[in-house]
Amino acid sequence: MFDFSFGDISVTRIVEMEMPMLGGTEFFPDWDPQAIERHKDWMVPRHFDPVSGKVVINIQAFLIRTPHHTILVDTCVGNHKPRNRDMFNDQVFPWMDNFRAAGVTPEDIDFVLCTHMHVDHVGWNTKLEDGRWVPTFPNAKYIFSRKELDFWMQQSEQDQMTRTGDYVADSVLPILEAKRELVVDMDHAIEDGLTLEPLPGHTPGMVGLNVTSGGEQAILCGDMMHHMIQCHIPDWSTVACADQSAARVTRKAFLDRYADRDVTIIPSHFPNPTAGFIIPSGDSFAFRYVNG
């Protein structure tokens, strides 16, 4: 029961929600209606809702099964969490049912990897139990990049979270209190064939996960790009990027590195089926889903 396999490593998507979520003009500071017009054929309606002006975003986790470990990458928004945005606030998503439907229990997870510490990547790290936030996956070590953890432990970064709600307090700190964290360098190897790949910019310590097995390769690239339009226009960073120009540099290098290669790219937020290939297109790039 999995969506994709690479050698003897499988990847299963555990979706929390997919919908037109973020206003294009609000999310992309460089949003240009004329540029969008040129891409309307493929964007509407699957990637962009012209009525609301919102881009379609998928929020999901990825279950990785290897012969040795069961790993969960990114943990969505979560349930019952106090947030300042309605779409994230005090939600009751059926995500845990979707997780169990993949044939696993919370006890099965050996590692949780947060590619970075944004509200939609740390939510299910914890669950509410007797009024306290406790680790959802009791046997897991939670892998955080040192640089990312340090960044979010600075008070100034905590202040920035007033916009979204203090998700570090309910979704990261309880992991540290329970001593379940594994703080690593940005090129850490989880096991043979599962290695972190530094993708700084969107946040300073963001990492991807490089999956290599049996001569096949995939990369879960977190929020290196949020939307397919960024393959066509790699210059566009988002308001959610901590450093928009560093995010741009990382994205361009990534697209150059993996274009026209037999490497499956799995960005966090691309709509179903999410995974695909970067292909050259004109003087830029395009994204071709695995199923065409």
Using the minimum distance from each CB to Zn ion, give the nearer residue, 141 or 226.
226
Amino acid at 37: E
Binding mask 109-128 for Zn ion (x = CB under 5 A): -----------x--------
Closest approach, Cβ 119 to Zn ion, in A, equals 8
Binding mask 143-182 for Zn ion (x = CB under 5 A): ----------------------------------------
Closest approach, Cβ 242 to Zn ion, in A, equals 12
Closest approach, Cβ 129 to Zn ion, in A, equals 26
Of 64-72, 139-147, 220-228, 282-290, the segment contacting Zn ion by CB under 5 A is 220-228
CA-CA-CA-CA torsion sign (102, 104, 105, 106): negative
Closest approach, Cβ 115 to Zn ion, in A, equals 8
Contact 265, 287 (CB under 8 A): yes
Q: Does 3 bind Zn ion (CB under 5 A)?
A: no
| DSSP run (H or E) holding 252 | helix 244-258
Using the minimum distance from each CB to Zn ion, give the nearer residue, 181 or 223.
223
Q: Where are the beta strands (DSSP E) in 86-161?
A: 111-113, 126-129, 132-135, 141-145
> Distances from the Cα of 200 to the Cαs of 59, 64, 235, 243, in angstroms?
20, 23, 15, 9
Closest approach, Cβ 68 to Zn ion, in A, equals 28
The count of residues interacting with Zn ion (CB under 5 A) is 2
Using the minimum distance from each CB to Zn ion, give the nearer residue, 120 or 148.
120
Q: Give the C-alpha separation, 175 to 181, whole Å.
A: 6
Using the minimum distance from each CB to Zn ion, give the nearer residue, 213 or 274.
274
CB-neighbour burial class of residue 227 (10 A; exposed 0-12, middle 13-18, buried 19+): buried
Contact 274, 13 (CB under 8 A): yes
Q: Give the C-alpha separation, 274 to 265, whole Å.
A: 8
Q: Does 223 bind Zn ion (CB under 5 A)?
A: yes
Q: Does 74 bind Zn ion (CB under 5 A)?
A: no
Using the minimum distance from each CB to Zn ion, give the nearer residue, 120 or 166.
120
Q: Tokens at residue 106, please?
A: 């919370």
Of 130-138, 149-157, 219-227, 230-238, the segment contacting Zn ion by CB under 5 A is 219-227
**Among 199, 193, 201, residue whose Cα is nearest residue 218:** 193
Contact 66, 9 (CB under 8 A): yes
Backbone phi, psi, residue 209, to 5° = -125, 120
Using the minimum distance from each CB to Zn ion, give the nearer residue, 9 or 117.
117
Closest approach, Cβ 55 to Zn ion, in A, equals 13
Closest approach, Cβ 44 to Zn ion, in A, equals 23
Using the minimum distance from each CB to Zn ion, give the nearer residue, 66 or 75.
75
Kindly list the residues in this chain that would bind Zn ion in the complex (CB under 5 A): 120, 223
